[in-house]
Chains A and B, each alone.
Chain A
């Protein structure tokens, strides 16, 4: 068990980087500079390793699912079980944010209630493989798993609320007139699945590495120099406003979210609330400006506003909850 823990918790890497910093660079780990350099090198390597492995595994699993299959499954579920199913499928169904419009059209055309459709649309971006991998690297598996569960809960609750408001008239009329064609679902062979997974690893790393490096860099500086007392006073778990500010600030920052996790990691060590940090990350992925602009093609502003309000409030509540239970998780 010790051996496995050593690998999973990256104790080996921690020690290796410590040797590098102390013996090769000749900087003592007791100094601020030593701590920062260690944080930067250690975090970069750990995150890249976990990011690559997790994106590969999750993409491979996802290659067995498709929006078409998801649609067929959801047609059979009504009521709250429909919302739960939609949220769960939101985790495994692969789709990029530019597909949210055809996906929405497909769901509506199949007669899937909008509340259920939104459960899918909310959970899918929140629970993404890259966020999961970086959380795993920075905070360990407990937080990563709780994050996934919370993503599902936010999707289910958000979808149920949106459904209960009966906003069907807020979908653009033309969507109801569309007659969806029937396309065959292609079955991939193993090589195509592996290609798909590798392609995803490359795509995501290419998209986020610069934010990651910047984030880890800022994290490293915070690690060495940030004044813990001031931070925990203003952004600590006891300041209720911190979560709300985090969510509002997050909306325009889409896709840079991943770089913020190493910053959050360093901040949390200095006393910032973990719920505050997680709410920030959820908001950057679930409430992105580009996605809202795309969704405007199929739904009217009022429904977009309701979607943002409900999802935003749910995420804020999740932030408070995490702040309250953080001591059980770390």
Chain B
């Protein structure tokens, strides 16, 4: 599984990154995690509001800081 967190690097993006990490640990899923801060790259995903969660190149959540519980549902 390949996970990307899209966002310019503000606090919201950090929180989403940490929550995703926590969700992965709790589910015991092996995944590579990556922060995407380049706006050209972010635009390629069609995302206009950050932070966004991309799982295997698909945008799952955007514009919301989501708790680990909800991320778990997305990952499963």
Contact = CB atoms under 8 A, between A and B. Distances in A.
B46 A196 contact: no
A183 B70 contact: no
27 contacts: A66-B48, A66-B63, A67-B49, A68-B48, A94-B63, A96-B12, A96-B49, A98-B9, A99-B8, A99-B49, A99-B50, A99-B63, A102-B8, A102-B39, A102-B43, A102-B50, A103-B49, A105-B43, A180-B43, A180-B44, A181-B45, A181-B46, A181-B47, A182-B46, A186-B61, A199-B64, A298-B39
At the interface, is chain A mostly helix, strand, loop or mixed? helix
Contacts of A97: 10
A98 B13 contact: yes
Contacts of A174: 40
Contacts of B63: 66-67, 94-95, 99
B42 interface: yes
Contacts of A95: 48-49, 63
B48 A99 contact: yes
A68 B62 CA distance: 11
A184 interface: yes
Contacts, number: 82
A203 B51 CA distance: 15
Contact of A186 (B44, B48, B62): B62
Given A98-B9, A186-B62, 12 more contacts: A68-B48, A95-B63, A98-B8, A99-B63, A101-B39, A102-B8, A102-B42, A105-B48, A178-B43, A178-B44, A181-B47, A192-B70
